[in-house]
Amino acid sequence: MMMPLALLIDTLKSIPWFLDFNSKQLERLASISTIMEVSAGEVIFCEGDRADNMYIILDGQIAVDSAVPGHEPVRIYQAEALDIIGWSKMVPVIRQRVATTTALKDSRLLVINGDDLAGLCEEDNHVGFVIMRRLANVVATNMLTTKLQLLDLILQLSGEHSGNPTL
């Protein structure tokens, strides 16, 4: 859905990720962004797809699932408002999606063009530092969540634990 630049800037101002940006930086970010609405059940991107955009969930819920050969996909995360999906676009060595994302509820997402965002990060060191620092936090949180899920699975298989991991 196309939105006027002013409305996109207002949306960006409501996202804590961008509180450190000045009006010129917000305007530039808005110029490479759009809002996408998805219905429950709609796939946003599939594992193996070419990585192109980064998404910030404005409202709704998104399932993040990973394929397991010979088995059903495994839910690795359930993203909610202000969570980031598609962040792997900002990691230069990853050229394809590492998970499949599906809307669990009707959802609205801020879509940021990944190539343009990478270019903006290169051009404006402050923007690049803030974005990469925030992405490092997302990656670290995802790694911790995955580690806890893996440890819980190991304990379940060994018969020592049968509950959910503490996050």
Q: Please name the residue that has the structure tokens 């993203």.
A: 79
- Indicate the pTM of the whole model: 0.84
Please check whether the domain covering 5-158 is classified as CATH 1.50.10.10. no
Q: Provide the pLDDT for residue 27.
A: 96
Domain limits, the chain: 5-158
- Which segments of the chain does DSSP mark as H helices, in order? 5-13, 23-31, 114-123, 125-158
Interval 113-147: pLDDT, tens:
999 999 999 999 999 999 999 999 888 888 888 88
Q: Provide the pLDDT for residue 62.
A: 98
Q: Provide the pLDDT for residue 142.
A: 81
Interval 26-50: pLDDT, tens:
999 999 999 999 999 999 999 988 8
